[in-house]
Every structure is written in structure tokens, then in C-alpha cells.
């Protein structure tokens, strides 16, 4: 009994420092399948905290401007990632479409506007519901795809077209695009990624882009910044 009591005391004394270190560390590395995730695919947003707040502010301001512009006659959704803004939805006239881009481009911290607004009647609820389902399917597919940093990728869908925004390496961009293009029911995948080097991620997960996705321009690509856009063929 005395030996068992001393052994218990020894185990408690050994474990206490370990627990304390875990509590003080604040955030341990993500563990998947028993091993810590590598730096390149760590499940965190690669934007700085400041960038994330700025993006939220941009989306709020843009939403307010769009409501003033089209009211109930249109529907505009805004997605911002590191100051790169995607506009999706429906507006009554071509003038409204251009005005929307002008207004959003003047918002503080906006770097670029990808204007994918459609001129016409408001998209039916059934189509919008299906878009939400497609976004969920694509997100799930990306999560289940090896070496794709899903926490730093934003998925948005409009009328069956899937848009991917985020800060990724070239290899991650290719893997994400290919995986998304394989999801049944989508019409097209458009990548609006900021491309960073793997080396920059080893020291700073909020690394600035070294270049951006590029592909030959086509009539189906976003109106603004088409040189930075890559469209994936649907499988």
C-alpha cells in the first residue's frame, strides 16, 4: 500500500507541469490522425487579425451602399478577402452594375473589385438555395482533400458558379481548384486566389502575395482584374 501511495504521488508530481504548460500555451498545434499538421496546411486563416476585421468592415459598408443603390429591386452579395472584393447578385440595369463597382472601390482598404453582378430579374429562391447547398458540398470536398488549407479559403456560389478566394501556394491552388471542379452540380469554378510562396508560410502565415493566379482571359471571367483569375473546367 505504501509503495502504491508513493507511486501515485510521483505520477501526480510528473503530470502537473505538463498540464500547466498546456494551459499556458494558449493554442496547441492542430493534430490530425495523431500527428501535428504541417505549416503549409495548418487550419488557420492566413489573413492577419487586422485584415479579417477590415474585411468584415468592408462587407458591412458595401452592403449598406448596395441597399441604398438598388433597394428591393436588386440583390447584391459582397465577399471580401484581404481587400479583394467579389460582388455577386442581380441589379436592374447596367448602370447600376457599374455604379456598384464604383461605390465599393471607394471603400477604405479595398484593393480590387471583381464585379460579377448580373443585370436582370432577381434570381429565384430555389436557385439561391441550391447555390448554398453547392457551397456546402464544395467546402466539404475541400476539407476532405489532402493538403488544402480550407480555413483560409472562402467559397461563394452564384447561379452554379463557384468562386474560391484565399491566400494559398500555387500547389494548394491547383489542388483546391481540381477538387472543387469535381463536385457534381456546379457550372464552373473561378479561382481568385492570392498566391504566396511556401517559404513565406514557414515564417509567417499571413504572408503577402508574391503573385496572383493567372490564366488566359475569356468572356466568362470576372469583369475586373481578369489577369488574376483562373477558371477551372468542370469535370
Q: What is the pTM of this model?
A: 0.73
Separation in Å, CA 174 to CA 96, 142, 180: 35, 12, 10
Q: Which CATH architecture has domain 49-232?
A: 2-Layer Sandwich (3.30)
**pLDDT tens series, the chain, 235 aa:** 554 555 445 444 444 333 333 333 333 333 333 333 333 344 589 999 999 999 999 999 999 999 999 999 999 999 999 999 999 999 999 999 999 999 999 999 999 999 999 999 999 999 999 999 999 999 999 999 999 999 999 999 999 999 999 999 999 999 999 999 999 999 999 999 999 999 988 766 455 555 444 333 233 344 433 335 777 767 6
Amino acid at each position: 500500500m505504501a509503495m502504491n501511495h508513493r507511486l501515485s504521488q510521483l505520477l501526480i508530481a510528473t503530470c502537473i507541469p505538463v498540464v500547466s504548460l498546456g494551459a499556458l500555451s494558449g493554442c496547441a498545434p492542430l493534430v490530425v490522425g495523431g500527428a501535428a499538421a504541417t505549416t503549409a496546411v495548418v487550419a488557420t486563416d492566413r489573413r492577419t487579425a487586422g485584415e479579417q476585421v477590415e474585411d468584415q468592415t468592408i462587407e458591412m459598408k458595401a452592403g449598406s451602399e448596395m441597399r441604398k443603390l438598388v433597394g428591393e429591386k436588386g440583390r447584391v452579395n459582397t465577399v471580401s478577402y484581404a481587400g479583394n472584393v467579389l460582388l455577386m447578385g442581380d441589379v436592374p440595369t447596367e448602370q447600376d452594375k457599374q455604379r456598384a463597382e464604383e461605390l465599393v472601390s471607394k471603400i477604405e482598404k479595398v484593393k480590387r473589385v471583381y464585379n460579377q453582378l448580373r443585370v436582370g430579374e432577381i434570381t429565384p429562391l430555389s436557385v439561391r438555395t441550391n447555390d448554398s447547398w453547392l457551397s456546402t458540398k464544395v467546402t466539404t470536398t475541400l476539407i476532405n482533400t489532402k493538403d488544402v488549407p480550407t480555413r483560409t479559403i472562402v467559397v461563394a456560389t452564384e447561379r452554379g458558379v463557384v468562386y474560391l478566394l484565399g491566400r494559398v501556394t500555387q500547389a494548394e491552388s491547383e489542388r483546391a481548384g481540381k477538387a472543387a471542379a469535381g463536385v457534381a452540380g456546379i457550372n464552373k469554378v473561378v479561382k481568385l486566389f492570392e498566391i504566396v510562396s511556401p517559404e513565406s508560410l514557414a515564417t509567417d502565415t499571413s504572408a503577402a502575395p508574391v503573385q496572383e493566379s493567372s490564366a488566359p482571359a475569356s468572356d466568362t471571367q470576372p469583369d475586373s482584374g481578369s489577369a488574376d483569375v483562373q477558371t477551372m473546367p468542370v469535370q
